[in-house]
Amino acid sequence: MNENKTSGGKLLTSAVVVQAAKESFLKLNPVKMMKNPVMFVVEAGAFIVLLMTVLPGYFGTENSVGFNFTVFVILLFTILFANFAEALAEGRGKAQADSLKKTKQEIMANKIVHNGTGIKIVPATELRKGDLVSVSQGEMIPGDGEVVEGLASVDESAITGESAPVIKEAGGDFSSVTGGTRVVSDSIRVRIVSDPGESFIDRMISLVEGAKRQKTPNEIALSTLLTVLTLIFLIVVVTLAPIARYLEIDLQIPVLIALLVCLIPTTIGGLLSAIGIAGMDRVTRFNVLAMSGKAVEAAGDINTMILDKTGTITYGNRMAGDMLPVGNESLQAVAQWAAVSSLKDETPEGRSVLEWMKKQGLAYDASLADGGQFIEFKAETRMSGIDLSDGRKVRKGAVDAVKRWVQAQGGTIPADLDDKGNVIASEGGTPLAVAVDDRIYGLIYLKDTVKPGMKERFEQLRRMGIKTIMCTGDNPLTAATIAREAGVDDFIAESKPEDKIAVIRREQAEGKLVAMTGDGTNDAPALAQADVGLAMNSGTIAAKEAANMVDLDSDPSKIIEVVAIGKQLLMTRGALTTFSVANDAAKYFAIIPAMFTLAIPQMEALNIMHLGSPMSAIVSALVFNAVIIPLLIPLAMKGVAYKPMSAAKLLGKNMLVYGLGGVIVPFIGIKLIDLIVNIWI
C-alpha cells in the first residue's frame, strides 16, 4: 500500500519536533489546559507547589523549599510531556497540510461565457459553483468539478501520489475531477461544483491540520470517565488531610498533590488526544480522507461491508465483446439496432458498442438516429435507447427489463433469449437485450473483470469477522459468477439504489455497524446511510459528498486498511488505558508507605520495593509518572499492532501485555529511579 506522497515522505522531522516543543509551552495556557481536565488538575497542583516554593514564609514551608521545588519541576515536566505528545501529533498533520498547500497555486481558468460561445481568462479564485471552464492538454484543472463534455487523461499525482494518469469522461461514474490536477491529453469542459475555500484540497488541508477534528464518542466517553476518576481522587485526597491530622500525622500539601497526581490517570490523560489525532493521520497517510474521527472509530467496529460491484470489485469498464442474435434474426440486424441505440449514448458501454462494430467491420445506418430523442439509462428502468423520428422506439438494457417492455407492447419473447443470456451470465459477462418496439433482435455481451487480489482481501475481512455483501444490477447468474470469483460472502442481484439502502438498514436494525464502498451517483444514498461510507475519488461528486471517507487511490479494497486502522485506534486507546490504570498500583506501593511510615511504622510492610526514604519514594513515583508519557508517545503515534483474530484472543493478549506489563514495569522503573535519587540526595 502506497503512503500518501503528498505527505512529503517522512513527517516526523526535526523541525516538527522543535515546533512541538515550542507548542508544549504555549499549551500551558490554563484556558487550553481546561480542555483536558486530568492535566489541568496537574497544572493547578504545580502552580500551588510553585507558590509554596516562591513564598515559603507565607505557607510556613521554609524547611522544605528544595523538596517543593523538585515536586514543581517534575509536575511541570509531566504537563510539558503531555502537551508535547499532543503537539507532535498535530505537527505531523500540519506538515502534511503544508505539503498539500504547495500543490495549491494561482491557477488561471478558461471560463466559458456568452452562452458558451466565448472564453474569459480569470484566476481560479474567482470561479463559483456552477461556472463552466475549458481545460486543455497541459493545463491545470482550476477547481473541483464534473466533466460535462469530452474525455481526457488527467494526472492526479499531486493528490493521490500515483504517477499513472486516469481517464475522466462525461457521463458515467468517472466524471469528477479535482482542482490542482493536470490534463495530460485531450480537452474537457468542467462544471465547477465548489466555491473558493470549499474545494477538496481545502477540506483536506483543514482536516489534516486538525482544525476541525472533533472528539469521537468513544474518546468523549473515556474523557468523561477520566474526569470522574480525577474528581473522585481529588475528593479522596482532600478528605485525607483532616483524617491524617486527627491521627496526628502531618501531611504536607506538596505530598498530597504528589499523591493526587499519582492516583489520577495522568498517562492516558496526557496521551488521549494524541492517540485520536494520530489515528486520523494514519488514515490520511493511506490516501484516505476521513471527514471525521468518528468515521475512523466506527470502522474499527464494522460487522458488515456492502460493496458495489462495478468499479469496486470489478474494473467497471464493461465493454462490448460480442453480439448474439436470437430467434431468426441475423448478426447484422442486432448489430445495426445496437449501434443505433448507442449513437447518442456517452457511457463507456455505449461507446464500446460502436468500437466493436468498427473492429468487426460491420456497417450501420447512422442517419436513422437523426432527429431522434435519446433516452438515458435510469436505475429504475435499467434501459436506455432512442425514440426515432419515424415513431419507432429502440431500447437496450437488462434482459428482464427489455422483456417486460416488449411484452407491454404486445410482443413475444424469442425462445432462445433466456438460454443465450444465461450462457453469457454464466461466463461472468453481462447480457444486454436489444429491441425495437415489440421485437427483440439479440444480445450484447458485455465483459467485466474482477480486480486481482480481491479474493485474498475478502478472506482477510472474514478473519476480521466482517461479512461482505456485493450489490449489483446484474442478473442473478452473472452476480453469482462474479461473487464466486471475487470470494464475497453474499450478493444481491438486480439491485436498485433503494435495495442497497434496505440491506444496510436491515443489518443496522440487527445492531450491526455497516460499511459501504461505491463510486456512482446511484451509490450516494447508501453511502450516506452507512456507518462508514467510503467513496472512490474517481467517482462522482454526489458519491464523495454523501460518504464520510474518500479514497484518493480509488481502491475499494482500501476499506480493509481503514478497518484495520479503526481497530488499531480502539486497541491503542484501550491498551494505554489499561496500562495507565495498571501502573497506578505500583505507585500506590511507593507513595502510601512514604506518607505514613514515620507515624505508623507498620506501614513499612507495604514498602515491598524497599525504597530508600519517604522523600525519595515520592520523588521516584512522580518522576516515573512523568517520564512514562514521552516513552509511550511512539506507541500512541504508531498504534498498537493489529492482527486479525477473535475478540477473546485479542482481549487476553492485551490484558497480558498491557495489564500485567502495566503492573510490572512501574515496579522496576520506580526502583531504578529511586536508586538514582538516593545517590543524588
Strand partners, 120: 111
CA 284, CA 291: separation in Å to the nearest integer? 10
How crowded is residue 679: how many other Cβ atoms within 10 Å of its Cβ?
Answer: 9
Residue 454 among known ligand-binding residues: no
Residue 486 among known ligand-binding residues: no
Helical packing angle, 266-285 and 614-638, nearest 10°: 20
Residue 377 among known ligand-binding residues: yes
- Which has the closest alpha carbon to 452: 606, 557, 319, 371? 557
Residue 345 among known ligand-binding residues: yes
For residue 233, give the H/E element and its range: helix 217-246
Residue 459 among known ligand-binding residues: no
Sort residue 529 into left (φ over 0), alpha (ψ -120 to 50) or beta.
alpha
Do the beta carbons of residue 461 and residue 515 sit within 8 Å? no
Residue 245 among known ligand-binding residues: no
Residue 510 among known ligand-binding residues: no
- Which has the closest alpha carbon to 442: 341, 348, 372? 341
Strands (E), 380-425: 383-387, 393-398
Residue 523 among known ligand-binding residues: yes
CA 651, CA 432: separation in Å to the nearest integer? 52
| Long-range contact pairs involving 525-529 (C-beta distance under 8 Å, separation at least 24) | 525/497, 525/498, 525/500, 525/501, 526/306, 526/471, 526/497, 526/500, 526/501, 529/501, 529/504, 529/505
DSSP letters, 428-443, are T-EEEEEEETTEEEEE
Cβ contacts of 250 within 8 Å, gap of 6 or more: 244
The residue whose grid cell reads 494518469 is: 165
CA 381, CA 375: separation in Å to the nearest integer? 11
Q: Over 17-33, what HEC string results? A: HHHHHHHHHHCCCHHHH
308 is catalytic: yes
DSSP letters, 86-110, are HHHHHHHHHHHHHHHHHH----EEE
Cell triple for residue 183? Answer: 490534463
Residue 318 among known ligand-binding residues: no
Do the beta carbons of residue 503 and residue 518 sit within 8 Å? no
Q: Helices in 115-211 by DSSP H: which ranges?
A: 157-160, 200-208
Maximal CA-CA distance, the chain: 111
- Which has the closest alpha carbon to 437: 410, 455, 463, 470? 410
Query: Strand, coil or helix: what is 421?
Result: helix
CA 543, CA 528: separation in Å to the nearest integer? 9
Do the beta carbons of residue 545 and residue 248 sit within 8 Å? no
Distance of CA 583 to the CA centre of its chain: 33
Residue 380 among known ligand-binding residues: yes
- What single-letter DSSP state applies at residue 72? H
β-pairing, 532-536 vs 514-518, is parallel
- Per-residue b or e along 120-146, where b marks 16 or more CB atoms closer than 10 Å to that residue's CB: eebebeebeeebbbbbeeebbbbbbbb
For residue 120, give the H/E element and its range: strand 118-123
For 464, list phi and psi in degrees, rounded to 5: -80, -5
Residue 384 among known ligand-binding residues: yes
Burial class (CB in 10 A: 0-12, 13-18, 19+), 56: middle
Q: Which of 308, 448, 474, 551 is catalytic?
A: 308
Query: Strand, coil or helix: what is 673?
Result: helix
Binding residues for ATP: 345, 349, 377-384, 396
By annotation, the residues acting in catalysis are: 308
Binding residues: 345, 349, 377-384, 396, 519, 523
Binding residues for Mg(2+): 519, 523
